């Protein structure tokens, strides 16, 4: 008797009054990054005397494997929704919004998700008609064009450059590249990334950007990471020269700093992510559609997370700060008296990507509960929906 009573009390204390059993999933909004693509930069020859692996497509396109992997995510998400009693069979188009940026990789990712999650359901992927321009909802640019604002962002980025230390990462990277035998060294005299300076690049109507070693390093590491996810033989992933977790961490640190410096900005993220966050809160306020997925880029997830002020978090079993195919899943739960928010980062692990592991409820992608500074979360990851809605300052 005493034992049972204690267990019962524990449940009450842990859940702080939220009776999980009676909660019902009511609305879901996913902010997703596209899946595995070809490297963004296809002019990497000058950085190494070695041959780069061949890709079947031009730069920045979703690969066939990327579409397959996104299908696995789609199937998993549908199984989860079905298991929650949220959805059954084919949803109606009015209950579902699948909305992608105008890049081929985001549209193709959204289509791969739909083809698997809502197979034969006639759910259409929405995007702007003009595919030659970045959709303004997803475009992570600085919108405030005043010089004062620009200077504030520039100062913050400059301070972050001063603070960052990529010495070990660059040393390891240029060893792998054999940079002293590359054109960049022989004809352009850039033989040591540690001897060059990363600079802030801020142009009106463009993404916050950097030039110099961080830009170069990030483009090269992106190519390594994508070839690893794509499942290329290890001799085609950084020429077989990355064989330890420590080395991957050194490489990933370059991607992390690139993202951190450009989009995780106290002074800028609210401006940069403004249109996207406004769009998201409109969906929450309308209580419709029931299920939405917005497919963009790592810069979108990063700036939204920064602008809404999440507590720091770790994503185990991943190299990337905002993993490929990863999804920020906003979940509204209701019971008879209240409404709650839970946010999880749902993403495939590096092994799940490389091995093309089929995902299901028994073999799920990684799920990490995130917390907002402005929405006090209980130990089960729930915070009050009304507190969350107060964060809508747009
Ligand atoms: C390129 O396409 C061929 C044929 O479809 C396929 O066998 C191969 O795996 C692809 N390679 C890459 C790197 O995607
Ligand atoms: C599919 O949906 C579109 C509108 O979303 C509709 O015009 C079309 O008739 C539907 N097709 C089928 C086969 O139901
Ligand atoms: C742009 O930034 C400046 C400086 O921070 C600020 O005073 C101004 O209100 C901003 N404009 C808009 C439209 O947000
Ligand atoms: C950067 O980190 C390395 C260790 O990785 C350390 O030896 C070096 O002193 C650091 N440089 C600065 C400027 O802090
Ligand atoms: C960022 O700057 C680099 C180097 O200056 C340039 O090549 C690249 O196109 C820029 N990227 C974006 C997204 O503006
Ligand atoms: C990694 O593998 C390569 C050959 O594939 C080998 O030459 C190198 O010594 C290995 N490095 C480490 C740290 O094991
Ligand atoms: C964003 O910056 C904050 C500090 O301003 C830091 O605590 C957080 O870890 C950064 N987020 C990521 C994903 O790097």
Residue ID of nearest Cα to ligand 2 atom 1: 122
Domains of the chain listed by start with CATH number: 21-41+62-141+270-389 (3.40.50.1240), 147-265 (3.40.50.1240)
Low-confidence ranges of the chain (pLDDT < 70): 1-18
pLDDT of residue 378: 95
Cis omega (within 30 of 0) on the bond before 289?
yes
Q: State the number of CA atoms in the 13 A half-sphere of 349 facing the CB.
A: 14
pLDDT of residue 42: 86
Instruction: Please work out whether the CB of residue 206 comes within 6 Å of at least one atom of ligand 5.
Output: yes
pLDDT of residue 178: 98
Q: pTM score, two decimals?
A: 0.93
Instruction: Extract the runs of DSSP E, i.e. beta strands, from the chain.
Output: 24-33, 96-100, 125-126, 199-201, 209-211, 291-296, 327-334, 339-347, 366-370, 383-384
Which among 145, 147, 149 is the best mutation to test ligand 3's pocket, defined by most ligand atoms within 8 Å of the CB? 149
pLDDT of residue 197: 97
Instruction: Please work out whether the CB of residue 362 comes within 6 Å of at least one atom of ligand 3.
Output: no
Phi-psi region of 283 (alpha: psi -120 to 50; beta: other; left: phi over 0): alpha
- Asked whether 66 and 35 are in contact (CB, 8 A), the reply is yes
Is residue 298 part of the annotated active site? The answer reads yes
């Amino acid at each position: 008797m005493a034992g049972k009573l204690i267990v019962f009390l524990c449940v009450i204390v842990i859940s702080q009054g939220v009776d999980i059993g009676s909660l019902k999933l009511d609305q879901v909004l996913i902010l997703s990054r596209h899946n595995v693509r070809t490297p963004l930069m296809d002019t990497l020859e000058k950085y190494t005397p070695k041959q780069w692996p061949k890709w079947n497509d031009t730069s920045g396109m979703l690969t066939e494997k990327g579409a397959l992997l996104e299908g696995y995510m789609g199937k998993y998400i549908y199984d989860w929704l079905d298991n929650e009693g949220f959805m059954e069979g084919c949803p109606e188009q009015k209950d579902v919004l699948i909305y992608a940026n105008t890049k081929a990789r985001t549209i193709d990712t959204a289509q791969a998700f739909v083809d698997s999650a809502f197979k034969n359901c006639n759910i259409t992927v929405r995007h702007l008609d003009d595919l030659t321009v970045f959709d303004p909802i997803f475009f992570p640019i600085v919108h405030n064009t005043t010089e004062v604002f620009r200077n504030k962002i520039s100062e913050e980025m400059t301070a972050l450059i001063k603070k960052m230390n990529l010495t070990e990462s660059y040393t390891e990277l240029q060893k792998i590249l054999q940079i002293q035998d590359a054109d960049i060294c022989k004809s352009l005299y850039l033989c040591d990334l540690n001897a060059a300076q990363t600079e802030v690049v801020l142009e009106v109507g463009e993404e916050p950007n950097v030039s110099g070693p961080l830009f170069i390093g990030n483009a090269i590491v992106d190519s390594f990471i994508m070839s690893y996810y794509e499942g290329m033989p290890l001799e085609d992933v950084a020429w077989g020269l990355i064989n330890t977790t420590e080395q991957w961490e050194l490489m990933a640190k370059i991607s992390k700093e690139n993202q951190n410096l450009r989009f995780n900005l106290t002074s800028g993220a609210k401006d940069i992510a403004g249109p996207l966050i406004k769009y998201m809160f409109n969906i929450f306020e309308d209580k419709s559609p029931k299920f939405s997925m917005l497919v963009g880029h790592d810069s979108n997830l990063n700036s939204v997370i920064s602008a809404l002020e999440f507590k720091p978090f770790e994503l185990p079993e991943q190299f990337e700060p905002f993993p490929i195919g990863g999804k920020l899943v906003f979940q509204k739960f209701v019971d008879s008296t209240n409404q709650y928010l839970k946010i999880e980062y749902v993403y495939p692990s590096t092994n799940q990507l490389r091995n093309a592991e089929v995902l299901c409820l028994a073999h799920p992608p990684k799920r990490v509960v995130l917390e907002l500074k402005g929405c006090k979360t209980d130990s089960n990851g729930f915070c009050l929906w009304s507190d969350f809605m107060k964060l809508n300052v747009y």
